Structure formats: C-alpha cells, structure tokens
Structure 1
Amino acid sequence: MPKRKINLENLVEKVTLYEDKESTEKEKRSSLEIEETFFEPIDKDRKPSQEYSKSLIRSFRVVLILFISILTFRMFYLQVIKGEYYKEMASLNKTRREAVPSARGIIYDSKNRILVRNIPSFDLVAIPLNLPKKEEDLDNIILKVCDVLKLNKKEVTQKIKNTHPFSLEEILIKEHLSKEDSLLAEVELSEIPGIKIRTYAQREYQESPYFSHILGYTGKLSKEELETKKEEGYILTDTIGKTGLEKSYEQILRGVYGSKEVEVDSTGKVKQVLSTEDSIPGQSLVL
C-alpha cells in the first residue's frame, strides 16, 4: 500500500488560520458581554413616538407635582399666615368708623360783631382701601378724575401711589372746590370707588386790616403736624390754626370731634349709618 505524503507547510497554515478564527470569535463574545453589562439593550421594535409619549408623560407629572406644591403653599400662606390680616380687611369692607368734625368756634369783636365765621367748603378726597388694586384700573380712575376737574395727572398719581394701598386714611386730592366743580364731581365721579366729596367748614375772615395779624389763619395739616397731633384725633384732611389767635386758642376753637359707624359696600359707598356719637362745637371768642 503506497504511503501518503503529508505536506507540513499546509498543515501548519491551516492550524494558524483556525487559531486566528477562534481568537476573533472570543473577542466578539467578550465585547458583547461588556455592552450587555453596561448598556441597556436596545429594543429594535420600539417606535420613536412611544419614546416621545413616555417622555411627555414624565414631564407632565413633574409640572403637576410642582403646581400642586405651589398651590398648597399659597393656600397655607393665605389661610394660616395671613388669615387674620385678611379677616380684618374683610370686616373693614363692611363697617367702619368715620370722624364727624365739630364746628369751629366763631370769633367776635368787643361789640359782638363777627370777625371770623364758618362757611361750607368742599374737598375731593380718595380712600386707598376702596381704590382698585390693579394698576391699569387705578390709572383709568386717576385719568377720569383729572379730566373731569382739570387736575394735574402727575400730582394726583403721586399723592395716591405714595400712600399704602390698604389705608383707610383719606387723601386730599383737591381742596376748596367751587360749587360748580363739587356738583360736577358728584355727578361724574359718584360711581367711582374710593373717590368722594367731603364737606367741611372753611374759615371766612371779615375784611379788617386792624385784626388780620391778630386773628391769624387756619390751614391744612402738614405731615409733620399730623405726626404730633394724630393722638389728639386729628386726621390728614383736617385744618389747624397756623398763626395768631387761631393757633393760640386752637384747642378751644376746635371743639371735640364726634364719630359714626357706617356700613359700606364693596366700593366704599355708605349704605347706612349704624351709630353716631355727636361732636361738640368749639367755643367762641370775644375780643
């Protein structure tokens, strides 16, 4: 039987190729194991729209949780932290106490002739608490008031916006309105919340060059005067003796203010008077 000759070179080459193939397969398997360990398997069947929907739902949940948290905190702030404050504000919107000015005393000369007396006068005032809190609505009211009475818009705006918006203290917008202007304001501005005409007694001095420097005069309180006189019952729209006898005998001439409790609507308009404490007129002087 003839012997088969083996080619060693071919055999070595085949063995080498087999080993290379095995090494390549091992490297592929190792790489696949690393990817499966550190990376999430990709689902080839998952559609992009499904991914977008899930992302949208997650975002909506986050926004909803934030919204509920903010709403809860706001309710807690209004009801617990600021509850008493708003309760007091609500009661002020129903009833309030207003000052009733007393008639200032008359001044006579030695022959019982009148030297100083009181005459009716009208002021335009604003009550901040009853004015709109929305800036646009407030600006419209200021514009309306200025158009009706021909006032300076910048000055009126400064007076109103420099005062606390929840103050009950009257702001003097325009003093000594003529009868025509006061009637016009009553007609044109009567439905505007926070704006009203205030009637008070203005001093009228008889022409007497001999007594003018002795009698003196009255005027509106300054802010500095109000700070020292507020505890005595003075209000910002009050008048006070500035010089002469008007100043020296202020407490006697002024009298004692009364008060009244009134029920008001949401715009600050008086619906009814609940109770009244009469004022005491000032005493007269005889020179």
Structure 2
Amino acid sequence: MSIGNSDFETRLTNLTVILACGFGLLLARLFYLQVVRGETLRTIAESNRTSLISERAPRGLILDRDGRVLADRRPTFVVLFTPLDVEREVLDKAKMKLSSILGFTPEELAEKLRPALKRASLVRLADRVSRPVAFALAEQLPSLPGITVANEMQRRYPNGNLACHALGYLGQISRREYERLRAQGYQPDWLIGKAGLEKVFDNVLRGEYGGMRMEVDAAGRSIKIIDRKEPLAGYQVRTTLDLDIQSAAEAGLAGAGKAGAVVALDPRNGDILAFASAPGYDPNAFVHVRGEELEDEESVGKIVNRPDLPLFNRAIQGLYAPGSVFKIVDAAAALESRRIPPEESYFCPGYFWLGGPGGKKFLCWKKEGHGRMGLKDGLIHSCNVYFYNMSLKLGPDPIESLAGKFGLGRPTGVGIPGEKAGFVPGRKMFTDGRRRWFDGDTLNMAIGQGTVLFSPMQAAQLAAAVASRGKIYRPNFLKDIRNPSGELVQRGVPELLGQVRMSPDTWDFLDAALIEVVERGTAQNCRIPGVRVAGKTGTAQNPHGDDHAWFVAYAPAGDPVIAVCVLVEHGKHGSSAAAPIARKVLLAALGSPESPAPGAAPLSAGSGEEQE
C-alpha cells in the first residue's frame, strides 16, 4: 500500500508542476500581449476596424529669393460619396443628374461608384471641382443621396509657364511610386511632385494629410464616422531664383521663337538665378480644376503629345556640341602647357589642309579668312584655323585633362532628376584597338565639334568657374526652408566641388580676351554701357538643320555677380541669336535699364562679319 500511495503522490506532484508551469506560461504570454506589445496590438486592432479617407494638406509655398510667389495654393472643392443609408433605387435615379453636373459619362460615374457600393465605404468621387460645379451640386444635394462637397487647398502656379522646368508639376502617385514611398507614410490617392523642385522637395512641401476616420466592419464596410484629423500645411521653400532674371530669360527665348535654354548662376556661391527651357508648359494643367475653362493646347494630353517636347528640360537634359565656347578650355590649356607662346601666330585663309594641300580640308567659319592670328585675337574673333594649328601642336591630352578639371563630361549635381553627363572625348576612348585617335579628332575637339557634348547647365558652370577664377560650385536651388510658423528649418549652403588651379597670368589672359570678345569681337551685341562684360560666342554644327547658337558670359568682369549661358536651337549664330538674350538677362541682374547695345546693330542671319 505504501508503494501505491507513493506512486500516486509522485504523479500528483508532477501534474501540479505541469499545471503550474502551464499557468505560468499563460500569465507570461498575457503579460507580453497586454503590457509589452499592448500598445502595438491596440494600434493594429484599431486600424483593422477603421479606414482613413484622406484630406490633402495645403502644399507649401515655393518662393523666389526675394519672397515673391512662384507656386501657392487656392481653395477648390472635392466631391465625396458614401453609400451609408442610401437606397439603391434613389441613387439610380440621381446618377444621370450627377453625371451631368460633374461632366462624367455614365460609364465613368459607374466605375467611380463601384468601390463605394461594393465595400460600403466612403470614396472621393471627384477632385478639384470649380466653384460653379460645387454650387450646382449644393443646389441639388437634396436629390443627390450620399454626396458631400468639401473644401481643400489646391496647388496653383500664378505665373503660368514661368520657371515651369524648375518648379515641375504634380501628379497622382503611381503604383510603383507608392510601393517605394509607402514606408514614408504615402497613401495610394496622394498627389506628389513628379518633376522639378516639386519632386525634389516633395517630402517637406506636401505637409501632413488629414481626413475622416471611418469605423468599418469585418467585411470592410463603413459603419460611421469616428473623428476627423485636420491636415497640416507643408513647409515653405524659398529658392535662389530671381523672378526678374527668370522673366528676362524666358522673354528672351520667347522673342527668339525657337527652342532653347538659359541658365544663370551666381559665380560666388553656385546659386541658380534663372533656369529656363523653351518651349515651356503650364503646370496648372496637371492640377486642372474640373469645370473651369482650359485652353486646348494647355491640356495634359496636348502637352504630353506636342512634337516640340515642352516637358523636355533642355537646360539639363539637352546635350549639344558647344562649338567655339570650348575654345575657352583650349586657350587655357595652351597657356598652362607653356608650349604655346601667346604671340605665336598662324595665317587663316578661311580653311586648313590636314596633311597638306590635297588632304582633308577643315573650314573656318569666316570664309574669306581672318589673316594672321595669335592666341588672343584667335579667341576674340573665334578663328578656327588658329585653333586647328594650335591644337595639333599641343595635342588632345592637355585639353581633355583641363576639360575634366572644369567638371565637363559629368553631371553638375544640380539635383533635379534627369540631368545628363555630357561627353568630352580623348585618346582613352579607343582602348579596344578597333580604332585609334586621329589628328582630325583633335581638330574637331578643338572647335567643340565631333563628339564633344555640353548641356546648357554645364556651359553655365564653365562660365561661372572662369568668372570665379576656378571655383566650381554645385548649382543650388535652395535658399531656405521654413515651417508654417515661419521658423527656419534648413538653409541652403554653398558646396564647393572643386578648384581649377591655373596661374594668375592665365586667368588674367582669359578675362582680358573675353572682355574684348564683347567689346570688339563676335559678341558686340552683348555690350552694356558702363559694364565690363566678358563672354564667348559659339555656333555648333547640327546635322538636323540650322546650326545651334551659343553664348556664355559673366559680369561685371573683375567682380562678377552673374554668369549666364544661352542656347538657341537652330539659331544659326551665337552673336545674333544668343548674345542679345544674354544681354537682357545681364541687364535684369545688374538693374540696368533696357537699351540697345552701343555701336552694334542687330545682325541678320546673312550679314557682315563677326557673327560666329
């Protein structure tokens, strides 16, 4: 008996221990769920029984450097629909009236209503409706069951096309963008920056969305509105752009009547003062208010399908042979090499025979020739024959090396998506043995033709680097960011990317020669009384039509506050097409009144000399 009792007691003890352990584990699990993960699980449970209907936040202002508005917001209306307590028969009778007011076809309206009816949830039926449409809905609300009209602040670009390629535009977030940005709190129905500064600074401009929180059942059907969260406005972004300089740049391009680009930089810090690409577009088309009149050519469909490619940002995406603008690099490389005496001259009869008479003939832009030219006059009058001879003596390597030090052949780092790198050729192109570098390649490179490619932004950065005696700054759009209370959040800081180190004599030579390009050379159409302007024209051969026109400049020489590049596609001559536009930009920057360039009548496409 004692043995039996002992077994029973042992089993009882084991069972007690097992029960105690099980109870202890249960308590530990309850502690973990209720205390350790309690808040997290409560949040998950809350989200499982609620649904948020977003209300867009007022987007932050975008301003020019002096606080003038480039992008603001205005009140518009949104139309919401909830099927709660709505009888299907009553709704069917109201559909035709609703379609008529909103401008939907019956099929479009049915498609928009389908998710609401299927899940018994509130949906956005229409965004950005005009005041007349909102008033028409308000008048008919008694016969439009489930319809609510709410007010939201909508992005607006009060200056239309002005600075459109800098500002960019908004659009509905795509599925791919949502997957990439959802971790940052983005929602599937949000409007986001699609291009330009709207995209670069989207995270601060968009603000914090608000909306209505709906209670839903297990099937996801809305039951009632729980509460409403007020949206918080986005931060204000003040740019480095100057509205006056930007307006002058765009007016100049409009007057040329051709595609092109203008970029103006502050050579002291890299601030972007103007950033224009033509043709432009009206970014308001991408946030068009339903029910307002919109010119046919301003619709999104028309903008996207226009053959002149208004969405193409020529300032950073367009790559062009720089023509004689590249001779700035040639001249500096020659002086720094100490192998090309500045006084050494060559005779220009208007052409050059590579390999002697009977060889390959390379032309100068001036058919009758320039006569005998040294380095300074060769740069002032942009004599191709001088640079053919000089580059063969110098060789391509010093030119390629110095171009790289000036940042050419790689992106400037401006920050706006889509910037192209350009290209500077050299012997290293042909390492596979299938082709070698020829003297003809050197001649083409010397006059900025062949495979040499710049964007207007890169050419502006080159001009700014020469103006600042070698300082290469990252082009910068940001002056500062402030929160809705006006408190400073972030300030733009100049970023020095590199320094081109050359002798003071070389910098002095470039300054003096480029001033004379404007005073008595190919850029007399950019002369400004009382202001020393330094510049260089360029004309780039174009296999698809008339030559492209270039001009780069900085002013006042000696103490420059602005460097500018102008490109006019099919402009034929930098002197007649690009230099006058640069003059308008410089006048706007320097605060000088508009007046004709002294002693330089506008040149026609077929007239006279000095219009390279």
State the TM-score, normalized to the length of structure 2. Answer: 0.27
Number of residue pairs aligned between Structure 1 and Structure 2:
189
Q: Aligned equivalents of 2:224 and 2:116: distance in 1? A: 20
Amino acid at match of 1:245: L
Q: How far does the alpha carbon of each residue in 1:44-98 deviate from its partner, in whole angstroms, 9 at most, with x for none?
A: xxxxxxxxxxxxxxxxxxxxxxxxxxxxxxxxxxxxxxxxxxxx9xxx8xx9755
Rounded to whole Å, the distance in 2 between the matches of 1:174 and 1:99 is 13
Q: CA deviation at 1:175?
A: 3.1
Amino acid at match of 1:120: P
Match of 2:238 in 1: 286
Which amino acid is 2:113 matched to?
A: I
Contact in 2 for aligned 1:102/1:256 (Cα 8 Å): yes
Aligned residue type for 1:240: I
- What is residue 66 of structure 2 aligned with on the other side? 111
Instruction: Return the alpha-carbon distance in structure 2 between the equivalents of residues 285 and 204 of structure 1.
Output: 15
CA contact (8 A) 1:246 1:253 kept: yes
Give ranges in structure 2 of 5+ residues lacking alignment. 1-44, 216-221, 240-612
1:279–1:165 distance in 2 versus 1, CA, 3 Å? same
Q: Deviations over 1:218-265 (max 9, x none)?
A: 1233455455555644445432111111111111101122455589xx
Query: What secondary structure, in the 3-state scheme, does the structure 2 residue paired with 1:157 have?
Result: helix
Match of 1:61 in 2: none
Q: Which segment drifts farther, 219-228 or 275-284?
A: 219-228
For 1:165, what is the secondary structure of its paired residue?
A: helix
Aligned to 1:166: 119
Distance 1:228 1:150, change over 3 A: same
Structure 2: distance between partners of 1:277 and 1:161: 26
The answer to whether the aligner puts 1:241 opposite 2:193 as a matched pair is yes
**What is the alpha-carbon distance in structure 2 between the residues aligned to residue 148 and residue 278 of structure 1?**
29
Instruction: Compare CA radii of gyration and give the structure with the larger one.
Output: 1
Match of 2:132 in 1: 180
> 1:1-287 alignment to 2 at 5 Å?
98-127=53-82, 129-130=83-84, 132=86, 134=88, 136-161=89-114, 165-166=118-119, 168=121, 170-171=123-124, 173-190=125-142, 192-207=144-159, 209=161, 211-222=163-174, 225-226=177-178, 229=181, 232-259=184-211, 277-287=229-239
Structure 1 runs not aligned, ≥5 long:
1-87
Contact 2:166 2:197 (8 Å CA) reproduced:
yes
CA contact (8 A) 1:219 1:240 kept: yes
Q: Per the alignment, do residues 190 and 111 of structure 1 end up closer, same or farther by CA in structure 2, a change over 3 Å counting? A: farther
Aligned to 2:545: none
For residue 118 of structure 2, give the secondary structure of its aligned residue in structure 1. Answer: coil
- Give the drift of 1:110: 0.8
> Aligned residue for 1:33?
none
For the residues of structure 1 that align with 2:224 and 2:140, how far apart are their CA atoms?
15
Q: Give the letter for the 2:84 counterpart.
A: N
Secondary structure at the aligned position of 1:112 is classed as coil
Structure with higher helix content: 1
**Superposed CA offset, 1:129-183 (max 9, x none):** 437474x444323223113444311211122226661153523x33332211101
CA distance in 1, matches of 2:231, 2:204: 14
Letter in 2 for 1:124: V
The structure, 1 or 2, with the larger RCO (C-alpha pairs under 8 Å, 6+ apart) is: 1
Q: Using the aligned pairs only, state the percent identity.
A: 26
Change (3 A) 1:235 1:114: same
SS of residue paired to 2:119: coil
TM-score (norm 1): 0.53
**Aligned equivalents of 1:133 and 1:231: distance in 2?**
39
250-259 or 231-240: bigger deviation: 231-240
